[in-house]
Amino acid sequence: MHPEALPSLFTIAASNTLAQMAVGLVPLASLASAFSVTATWPWTPEKLPLLAVLEPVSEQPPTAADRKRAETMSATRRTTQSLRDGELAALTGEIATCRRCPRLVAWREQVAREKRAAYRDEEYWGRPVPGFGDPRARIAILGLAPAAHGANRTGRMFTGDRSGEFLYAALWRAGIASAPRSRSRDDGLRLSGAYITAAVRCAPPANRPAPDERDNCLGFARRELELLADVRVVLCLGAFAWDAALRILAPAARPRPSFAHGAELAGAPALLGSYHVSQQNTFTGRLTEAMLDRVLARARELAELPVTAPGPPRRRRR
């Protein structure tokens, strides 16, 4: 018998037995041998609905056919996931080699050549920055674009600048990041339950991509979200990301939902807004640690990820 069939059969058995008991065909004592009774005593007609809490003393062990079916379903899930992982890896490679926007290609490469004095001995990434995180993520975090001397230098989203320090510390407190800092592509940092990406993948001058550059690039985030099939909420960092997420997920929404810190739009996935973690916001107190912690707690709630104590992520059961 398939395990899922047990509750309904059990309910029928319980109802039949109680109906017989009610007309005196079954002695009360026989119930004790059939069920573990956790409802209150004595029985009254009003309390009959409480039979939902009756539990069988023993369950039928799964048959060989049940086990075979479960194994087949689990193998299919694993195959689907590994196909998606492969496509996500291929997409990462495609993003990193894109040269579609001439202005942004010129800028990202110029910054990588000229460098900031503090990083003059480093080799800049100088290319589009792919997404980073857990392929089974339930939370997608969408930013604006890589920072010229942050992700454009290190090659990983929000890595190597003050914005990233603020974000990853919060992700660590939320039990999502394995460490409170993100320094380089090979620092061993892991995310559990979240994937970080951006609307535009090349560092734009003055952090302002042009509309055509945004439209050129949005297809990458769209494809990532399609491959991240478990995502239940997209956390948008700032109004640009909120607008980009609407263009991908709810292009027909009218009136157009406005961005605000804490704004939500129900859907599959849902959208959740937060002020961006830029220094402009964090240095001025517009976005505080407590505010970001609350937004992340809400994201976890919408994603149905259990709330955990601060620190390294716990292993999830697959």
Q: How many CA atoms lie within 13 A of 79 on its CB side?
A: 6
Structure-token match 């390294």, residue found? 312
Query: Binding residue for ligand SF4 (CB under 6 A) from 128, 133, 160, 269?
Result: 128
Chain center to CA of 132: 12
Query: Binding residue for ligand SF4 (CB under 6 A) from 21, 34, 98, 263?
Result: 98
Q: How far is the CB of 108 from ligand SF4 (least distance, A)?
A: 7
Separation between Cα atoms, residue 295 and residue 311, nearest integer Å: 17
- Burial annotation 245-259 (CB, 10 A radius, 16+ → b, else e): bbebbeeeeeeebeb
Return the number of the residue (216 or 281) whose C-beta is nearest ligand SF4.
Answer: 216
Return the number of the residue (197 or 216) whose C-beta is nearest ligand SF4.
Answer: 216
Torsion of CA 188, 194, 197, 199, to 10 degrees: -170
Query: Binding residue for ligand SF4 (CB under 6 A) from 189, 194, 198, 217?
Result: 217
Query: Binding residue for ligand SF4 (CB under 6 A) from 134, 161, 165, 213?
Result: 213
Does 202 contact ligand SF4 by CB under 6 A?
yes
CA distances, 20 to each of 25, 42, 45 (Å)? 5, 17, 14
Q: How far is the CB of 200 from ligand SF4 (least distance, A)?
A: 5
DSSP helix/strand/coil, 233: strand
Site string (153-192) toward ligand SF4, x via CB under 6 A: ----------------------------------------
Sites of contact with ligand SF4 (CB under 6 A):
95, 98-101, 104-105, 128, 200-202, 213, 216-217
